Amino acid sequence: MPKAEGRIVEWVSEEAIRTDWLETLPYSGDPQVVTYETDEFSAVCPFSGLPDLGRLTIQYVPDKALVELKSLKYYVVSFRQVGIYQENATDRIYRDLWEFLRPKYLKVVLKYKPRGGFIARCEKASASPETLKEILYSAPGD
């Protein structure tokens, strides 16, 4: 039997995700789409213990707050040793940012590097593209 068979790298629980590191900046402008992207997302597959690596895209229309980017980076890095399934990571980031920012619109996409020949793309959004258009194209100051 190969030495690697049945091995699992240790990982930590979701309690290690540091939402307390997130910070905001005030926003009072008209509706606009803000997009942040990084190819540096990583977490751990709780089934195998192997790393899941992917591209994280966060898109939102701020209401009264913007997320401060350095704090967002620290929050994202806090996933690095967390054992979490890909779909659950997308849901967790979405829920954390929704609670934290209370934006007019939020979309989180995680596109993972291939595993076993499959590319996983997980997406969660607060509204349809049509609703986003209504938010963006309302009269200034509405």
Active-site hit among 45, 63, 122, 142: 45
Helix (H/G/I), strand (E/B), else coil: 35: strand
pLDDT in tens, 42-97: 999 988 888 999 999 999 999 999 999 999 999 999 999 999 999 999 999 999 99
Q: How many CB atoms lie within 10 A of CB 6?
A: 7
Contact 65, 101 (CB under 8 A): yes
At 9, the pLDDT band (50, 70, 90 cuts) reads confident
pLDDT at 140: 62
Contact 38, 79 (CB under 8 A): no
Residue type, 107: K
Structural domains for the chain: 18-136 (3.30.1130.10)
Q: Which two tokens mark 22?
A: 């997130």
122 catalytically annotated: no
Active-site hit among 30, 52, 63, 122: 52
Q: Average pLDDT of 105-122?
A: 92
52 catalytically annotated: yes
